Amino acid sequence: MPAPAKPGETSVAAPSKRSQERPPRVLAADDQQHILDAIEILLRPQGYQVETARSPALAREALSTASYDALLIDLNYTRDTTSGQEGLDLLSEIVALDSTIPVIVMTAWGNVALAVEAMRRGARDFIQKPWENERLLTVLQTQIELRRALREAERLAAENRLLRAEGRPEFIAAAPAMQLVLETITRVGPSEANVLVTGEHGTGKEVVAKTLHALSPRAARSLVAVNTGALAEGTFESELFGHVKGAFTDARADRIGRFELADGGTIFLDEIGNVPYRQQAKLLRVLESGEIERVGSSRTRRVDVRVISATNSDLTAACTTGQFREDLLFRLNTVEIHVPPLRERREDIPALAGHFLSRYASRYRRSIHGFDAAALQLLLQYAWPGNVRELEHTLERAILMCRTNEIQSADLGLNLRPQTQNLEELSLEAVESTLIRKALQRYQGNVSQAAEALGLSRGALYRRMEKYGL
């Protein structure tokens, strides 16, 4: 039993304002209900969220479905047992799962040897029963603030590594038009917030998603990218949520879905604006509850996934016309990041071109070291309707076509003159590329509508867009 509180002793260890970005969440595990009740009575008035478990099994279950800032665990759970082995085993499992979670063990008074063994296995501190309220609160606050300080240091290190690294960073953004993008990534990356990345085709939305993931506490886990716009409606649920053997004709074995693959990490849902309306409700349910069911199964599975989505469509307008669910949009765009087109960030073109030149010269083992003045001027003047993706494809082609150690204007294959040629003067590929570009412009980037107008399946149109750098 805890020792009686002395007047005023609990006020000194309340969580500081700095640490109260959100209420600290604590899991207390003990087989005696009155101990758990005493912990709740002590901690809740101090601003802690407290959850309890009466056994190691229940503690493991709680840890599998939620995250905590600290754990208070007893070492003995079976009546008349004093070895502490149950608690030590639980401690070892917790440390193996996440060594950054501070675990504070509770031991009977005088059992110092058991406390020492717990510290050897990774416990951060120990509390003797009956405890002193002031010590318990001080230890808990210290460990939680230490963990948050370490995570903040890791976040700053990741930010510095990714956004300020020397050499040729993957994320190139020095133009004034990109400063708001960089600032938002810096603020939002380390959080758990869902992010909607908007912008034209080829602006680099996936690079933004990868940077957000790399800055997050989930960086060590998977980033699973899904082109939701290219998924056929009949396979949408199977791809995202998985299926069990026999769920449908071709389901010859169980299959894990993309959300389960991303559990503990991040899922990137590209072309989210092209998800069929009837499938949007199923996606909304996962975002609201964190629960999925494989096709053909009644078993509910919980997933812990951060969602980053991207679109080139105006989803607000789509909500107005009834093509996109407003409640789903609210779930997706906790924060929205708009990536400007390349024509609005021309200051980045030389650095981007140099980056792609280095990449493809190395890949194709070509000794090409730069651009002549005319080629660089052409890169700066061109309109880049396909944005960064078109620039990348242009540089890859130029590397293959170049006959000297510098890229020449002719190697780029760009034409600044208005397109006034007759159809007879154009190649089949040029005609197809022009028709696809015009269809996308007519339907404001809606791939489904453009594909229907061109008489193509959505998947076929995506393949052609990739081919022409659109």
Residue 11: band (very low, low, confident or very high) from pLDDT cuts 50, 70, 90: very low
Least confident of 253-257, 346-350, 405-409, 415-419: 415-419
Least confident of 72-81, 89-98, 117-126, 205-214: 72-81
What is the pLDDT averaged over residues 101-127?
83
Question: Which has more pLDDT, 100 or 218?
Answer: 218
Rounded to the nearest integer, the mean pLDDT of the chain is 82
Question: Which has more pLDDT, 424 or 213?
Answer: 213
What is the pLDDT averaged over residues 290-318?
89
Residue 20: band (very low, low, confident or very high) from pLDDT cuts 50, 70, 90: very low
Q: Which domains does the chain have, with CATH numbers?
A: 11-152 (3.40.50.2300), 170-340 (3.40.50.300), 342-416 (1.10.8.60), 422-470 (1.10.10.60)
Q: b/e for 386-421, b at 16 or more Cβ within 10 A?
A: bbbbbbbbbbbebbeebeeeebbbebbebeeeeeee
pLDDT of residue 393: 93
Kindly tell me if the per-residue pLDDT of 421 is higher than 80.
Answer: no
